[in-house]
């Protein structure tokens, strides 16, 4: 068997074959075992002459495939789209020349790929002038810098990544338009994508960004809102930190139905048209942000309101250059722990004119003391 070059069993029903290994069959050049309809594991590791694996997509029950060290130049059509595929090993495939990412709809849970595959991916995408890959690894980290076209060519990657950074893409208008749920996404950075108007659009999926923990958004010239329309109650269930900066068309941040049950930090800076955080000013902070600890508002010249009610867990509130802010979402339950830092007198006076409970903060700010611990100000 060590000198076998071609093995074609496609007309042979191999229904009892569940696992098969061709380890280090150095002469094997072509293999077709598409008749093995119940095959779950196939290893061709070390078959250094193998050029063709015929019709692997017909192996519908295949869960694990190892092509490491083979001579395959182009991955077989449909290899990424086998529904039950859980593990795909593509290590040491130095002869691989092409992967047609536009036909990839999904990736297996475990994809082992070394520098040969990563270098190929970067080279392909750069040559097509679509985008550049800065970092892509088994840790499911994807950075896309630049580009004038859509990201549909890597939809399979988007469905499994945990970290996504988009910088300078001038095509995408909404993350939801990519057609993938991105259920594994934990951290997302979006910068200088000047055609992007919304991050998530209601109606595409019931829930959005269910695993997202950190969101950083900056310098988006056309961003109108983070969410448009109604999203499911499970949306943003894990979101802990939001950083938003330099979005000149943003008027309000969230739809009134959004509840960020685990949000701990919200920072909004240099959004010159932002008037309110929610569409409806009456949204109660204790319902929308029950775990918010740190709130930072910098240079928001048109901001009038944050939310109704109060923020029960708020520890730090930093305000700078928010002259129209009418009320702070404080409550007597914040009294012993909250810290307010106000670095502009106009913002301080305006923020408190309807809230006599923070008069002591105003006096402090007017005297030039920009930082004061709130303690004993509220009565029972």
pLDDT at 117: 56
Pick the residue with more confidence: 109 or 251?
Answer: 251
Q: What is the mean pLDDT of residues 250-266?
A: 88
Per-residue confidence at 257, pLDDT binned at 50, 70, 90? Answer: confident
Q: What's the order of all strands across the beta sheet hosting 141-145?
A: 132-136, 141-145, 163-167, 187-191, 214-218, 241-245, 265-269, 294-298, 316-320, 339-342, 371-373
- CA dist 53 and 340 (Å) reads 65
pLDDT band at 274; cut points 50, 70, 90: very high
Q: Which of 76-90, 264-278, 281-295, 328-342 shows the lowest per-residue confidence on average (mean pLDDT)?
A: 328-342
Q: What's the pLDDT score for residue 298? A: 94
Tell me the Cα Rg of the chain: 27
% the chain with pLDDT above 90? 21
- Summarize the confidence of residues 202-214 as an average pLDDT: 77
Q: For the chain, what is the mean pLDDT?
A: 76
SS (H, E, C) the chain: CCCCCEEECCCCCCCCCCEEECCCCCCCCEEECCCCCCCCEEECCCCCCCCEECCHHHCCCCCEEECCCCCCCECCCCHHHCCCCCEEEECCCCCCCECCHHHCCCCCCEEEECHHHHHHHHHHHHHCCCCEEEEECCCCEEEEECCCCCCHHHHHHHCCCCEEEEECCCCCCEHHHHCCCCCCCCEEEEECCCCCCEEEECCCCCCCCCCCCEEEEECCCCCCEEEECCCCCCCCCCCCEEEEECCCCCCEEECCCCCCCCCCEEEEECCCCCCEEECCCCCEHHHHCCCCCEEEEECCCCCCECCECCCCCCCEEEEECCCCCCCCCCCHHHCCCCEEEECCHHHHHHHHCCCHHHHHHHHHHHCCCCEEECCCCCCC
In this predicted structure, what is the pLDDT of residue 53?
Answer: 84
Per-residue pLDDT band for 165 (boundaries 50, 70, 90) equals: confident
With contact defined as beta carbons under 8 Å apart, do 165 and 142 qualify?
yes
Most distant CA pair in the chain: distance in Å?
90
Does the structure show a pLDDT above 70 at 244? Answer: yes
pLDDT recorded at residue 34: 80
The better pLDDT of the pair 334, 370 is held by 334
| Domains of the chain: residue spans and CATH | 1-128 (3.80.10.10)
Sign of CA dihedral 186, 187, 193, 197: positive
Long-range contacts of 353-358 (CB under 8 A, 24+ apart): 353/326, 354/326, 354/327, 355/327, 355/328, 355/330, 357/330, 357/332, 358/328, 358/330
pLDDT at 248: 95
Q: What is the pLDDT of residue 206?
A: 65
Res. 356: pLDDT tops 50: no
Each residue of 128-145: pLDDT tens digit? Answer: 333 333 334 435 677 777
């Amino acid at each position: 068997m060590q000198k076998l070059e071609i093995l074609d069993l496609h007309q042979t029903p191999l229904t009892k074959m569940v696992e098969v290994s061709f380890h280090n069959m150095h002469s094997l050049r072509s293999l077709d075992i598409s008749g093995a309809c119940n095959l779950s594991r196939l290893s061709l590791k070390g078959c250094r002459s193998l050029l063709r694996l015929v019709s692997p997509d017909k192996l519908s029950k295949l869960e694990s495939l190892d092509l490491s060290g083979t001579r395959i130049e182009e991955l077989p059509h449909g290899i990424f789209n086998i529904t039950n595929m859980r593990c795909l090993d593509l290590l040491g495939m130095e002869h691989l020349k092409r992967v047609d990412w536009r036909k990839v709809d999904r990736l297996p849970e475990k994809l082992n790929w070394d520098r040969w595959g990563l270098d190929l991916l970067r080279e392909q995408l750069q040559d097509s002038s679509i985008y550049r890959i800065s970092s892509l690894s088994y840790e499911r980290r994807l950075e896309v810098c630049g580009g004038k076209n859509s990201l549909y060519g890597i939809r399979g990657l988007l469905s499994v990544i945990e970290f996504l950074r988009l910088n300078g893409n001038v095509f995408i208008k909404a993350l939801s338009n990519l057609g993938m749920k991105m259920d594994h996404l934990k951290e997302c950075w979006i910068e200088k994508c000047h055609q992007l108007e919304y991050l998530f659009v209601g109606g595409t999926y019931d829930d959005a960004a269910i695993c997202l923990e950190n969101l950083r958004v900056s310098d988006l010239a056309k961003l109108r809102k983070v969410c448009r329309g109604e999203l499911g109650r499970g949306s943003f269930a894990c979101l802990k930190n939001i950083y938003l900066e330099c979005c000149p068309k943003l008027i309000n941040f969230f739809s009134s139905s959004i509840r960020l049950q685990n949000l701990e930090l919200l920072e909004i800076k240099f959004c010159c048209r932002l008037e309110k955080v929610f569409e409806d000013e009456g949204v109660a902070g204790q319902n929308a942000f029950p775990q918010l600890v740190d709130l930072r508002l910098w240079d928001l010249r048109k901001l009038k309101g944050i939310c109704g009610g109060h923020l029960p867990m708020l520890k730090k509130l930093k305000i700078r250059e928010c002259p129209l802010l009418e009320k702070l979402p404080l409550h007597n339950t914040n009294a012993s722990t909250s810290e307010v830092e106000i670095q502009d007198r106009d913002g301080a006076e305006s923020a408190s004119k309807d809230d006599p409970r923070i008069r002591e903060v105003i006096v402090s700010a007017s005297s030039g003391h920009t930082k004061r611990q709130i303690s004993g100000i509220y009565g029972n």
